[in-house]
Every structure is written in C-alpha cells, then in structure tokens.
Amino acid sequence: VAEGEPSEGREPFELQRFWDALGQTFQVASQEATKLSLAFSRPPLPSAENCRKLSEDVQNAILAVATVYYWLPKGQGTTLRKMVRDATTEVVEGMIQLTDTILNAPVESLSQEQLISTGGVWEACEQVSNLPRDNQAAVVSALAASLGVVKDAVEEMEQALVEGQDPYGDIMEDEELGFRGNRDTYWSEADRQLLSSCIGLMKASKACLKKVLAAVKAHGKADSPEHIAQLDDLADIANEISPSVDELALSMYPPVNPLAVRLNAAKLASVLTKVLEIAKTSHVCPPSEEGWVQFLTGAVDHNMNKVKNFTQGQL
C-alpha cells in the first residue's frame, strides 16, 4: 500500500485530520523537551527510574512526530511534503541536541547551552503553525523564497556595476596583490556591454518568478492529482532559477571569462524557457496570463542573443 493510501479497514486520508494530528504531536514534543530540561536543571539528578521514564516519553513523542509525517501521501504534493519533512527533521534534531547538551553539561546549574537548546526545540515545534496547509500554498512559499534571493542578486550586481570601474573598490589596497591598476580587478568597456545583457537576463529571472508566483496565487489549485503534480513540476524547475542566477553573477566578476559567462547565461536562459513552457501548459496559466509568458520568452531570447553577439569574437 502506498504511503497515505487507504487500505482495507483504513479510513481515506483527510488533510485537516493530518494537520490536527501533526500539531498535537509537535505540541507534545515541546512539552517533553520542557520536562526533560527541567528535570536536569538543578541537583539532585532524577532517579534511574525517572530517567528511564523521561527517556521513554521523549522517544515516544519523537516517534509520534515521525509517524504522523509519514501519513502525508506524496500525492498531496512533493513540495508540501518536503516542507513538512524539513519541519519534522528540525524537531528531531533539536531534541537530539538538547539531549546531548544535558549529557555533557555539569548538573550544578542550568547552563546557557541547555536554555538555548530547549528554546530551539520550542521554536522548531512552533513552526507547525506556519507550515503551508496544501501544495498550492507550499509552492507559493517556495516561489516567494526564490524570488527574494534573485532580487538580492540583481540588486547586488547592479550596484557593483554602478559603483565604478573597480568592483573591489571597498577592499583595502594591498601592495602584494596590487589591486589598483590590475586588469583582473576591473571591468573593461567590452565587459560592461556583455554584463548589461547578463543583468537583463537576471532581471528577466526576477520578472519570471514574480509573474509565476502571482499566477500560482491567483489560479493555482491543489484539488486534483493533476493540478498538484503541475504545481510540483513548476516548483521543481523554478527552484533552479536562483542557483543559476548565482552562478552567472559569480562568473561576471573580473577577470571576466567570456566563455564562462556565456555558458552560465545559456544555462539560466534554458531554465527560464523551461519554467515559462511548464507554466504555459499548466492550469495556473489561463488565456489571460499568456501575454506575459510570450513577452518574457522574448526577453530571455533577446538578452541571450545579445550575450552571444558580445562573446562571438572572444571565444
């Protein structure tokens, strides 16, 4: 029987019941962390019997958290499932860290490390209330996170280009490294022409994520296996945008290697084209959304062609 699928005598999966159960197990785990921490906050140590009871209670709480996580079927969305898995892992790892801290700390008084570890478990357990409740909300969350990272990368690169010929100008001069006058530390005019096209591609990445995010918010649904799978496909490919933008940005710093810049630009353009294709054929893109898909596809092609032109004679 697949995870989360009903078998004979088992009730069908209900998302709300899952969330109720997960919230309850996270709450119990938090309470057990508090009990464990208090028991070892001052002398005398708990008796062997009490230690055994505390250990069993902590173990049962963690097993319950893990068990409820495994109730969530993959059919509810791999993006959602990954976020729930990450939250579950944080609780488990937090409890392990708290236990290690108690075992390694002197018993004379409540240590700072123990307080921090206990607070870490509480914080991990409280995260359950912030988790997206279905795959549409999970994909919105993932896209928003990627958009934030890409926005920062675009701003950083634009600022570096505006600040002058030497992007390392904020680094102190060093006689041995010879920053000033060193060809490896500034952009030539040819470099700047190439980089302006790369920034155009990075801006297209930001616009792409912004538009896809808005479309998923407006039209995304988690009401059928097909819709859930389409959202996951979109999230999976969109997750590649941010790392691709970062790789392109890194290759843009001097000394500029035109081949490396062109390869990284081509990789980003390929990812963006794929995102737009997947969005266009999914339920998040009704006819009213087709205009921006076409426009951004053209913007990606235009900037990539400019990158090719600028690097043609330099390869």
- Alpha-carbon torsion (246, 247, 249, 253), positive or negative: positive
Give pLDDT, residue 30.
98
Range of the domain at 68: 15-130
CATH code at 108?
A: 1.20.1420.10
For residues 293-303, give the mean pLDDT.
97
Same domain, 149 and 265: yes
What is the value of pTM for the model shown? Answer: 0.87
| C-alpha span between 314 and 312 (Å, rounded) | 6
Whether residue 283 sits in one domain with residue 148: yes
Q: What is the mean pLDDT of residues 120-131?
A: 97
Point out the domain boundary residue: 103, 130, 157: 130
User: Does 7 map to a domain?
Assistant: no
Q: With respect to residue 2, please indicate whether it lies within any of the assigned structural domains.
A: no
- Cα four-point dihedral sign 99, 102, 105, 111: positive
Residue 3 lies in a domain: no
Residues 140 and 236 in one domain: yes
Identify the pLDDT of residue 179. 47
Which pLDDT does position 44 carry in this prediction?
Answer: 85
Q: 192-245, pLDDT tens digit by residue?
A: 999 999 999 999 999 999 999 999 999 999 999 999 999 999 999 999 999 999
The whole-number average pLDDT for the span 292-310 is 96
Interval 134-182: pLDDT, tens: 999 999 999 999 999 999 999 999 998 887 545 555 554 555 544 445 5
Give residue-wise pLDDT tens across range 56-93.
Answer: 999 999 999 999 999 999 999 999 999 999 999 999 99
Asked if residues 266 and 304 have their Cβ atoms less than 8 Å apart, the reply is yes
Average of pLDDT values for 304-314? 89
Structural domain includes residue 182: yes
* Within-domain flag for 72: yes
What would the mean pLDDT of 301-314 be, rounded to a whole number? 90
Give per-residue pLDDT as tens, 6-47: 444 457 899 999 999 999 999 999 999 999 999 998 888 899
C-alpha 175/C-alpha 61 separation (Å) is 60
Residues 122 and 140 in one domain: no
Report the pLDDT value the prediction gives residue 82, as an integer from 0 to 100: 98
pLDDT surpasses 90 at 106: no
Asked whether residue 250 is assigned to any structural domain, the reply reads: yes
